Amino acid sequence: MSLTDAVRLLPWSGPEGKPCYLAGDGAGCLSRLADNMESTQLGLAGELIEEAHQILDGRAWTAGELHLLAVQLTEALGNVHRIAVSRGERLPAPAYDDLDGIDDGDDETL
């Protein structure tokens, strides 16, 4: 296993907003803390989506409510994006190198 295979983007930023990485096998206490934080962040994003639906469906919002909602949605989207990148980087590489070589069975031209 190479070092890049064992590096994980953590769900928080370091000083000055720089990304934090963890090298290891994913079995340590810091990995479990990161897993728990990711789970919490995803749960909060889901709750925020529900809150956004309620606010927007009511059609009686103030500018302050919309501003706060935009700030919270932006933060949640940033967290979810970081989690997706982190998890995507830890997926195994595909067994093929060239997507053009895959036949999807749909050869019709429109």
Domain range enclosing 15: 3-90
Give the CA distances from residue 102 to residues 53, 88, 92, 110, in Å, rounded to whole numbers and listed in that order.
40, 21, 18, 20
On whether residue 32 sits in a domain, the answer given is: yes
On whether residue 50 sits in a domain, the answer given is: yes
What letters, b where the CB count within 10 A reaches 16 and e where it falls short, cover 24-43? eeeeeeeeeebeeebeebee
On whether residue 40 sits in a domain, the answer given is: yes
pLDDT confidence band for 26 (50 / 70 / 90): confident
Render pLDDT for 37-86 as a digit per residue (tens, 0 to 9): 999 999 999 999 998 898 888 888 889 988 999 999 999 999 999 999 99
Render pLDDT for 79-96 as a digit per residue (tens, 0 to 9): 999 999 998 888 887 777
* pLDDT in the model for residue 79: 93
**What gap in Å lies between CA 22 and CA 15, rounded to an integer?**
15
pTM of the shown model: 0.70
On whether residue 75 sits in a domain, the answer given is: yes
User: What residues contact residue 3 under an 8 Å CB cut-off, 6+ apart?
Assistant: 23
- Residue scoring higher pLDDT (53 or 97): 53
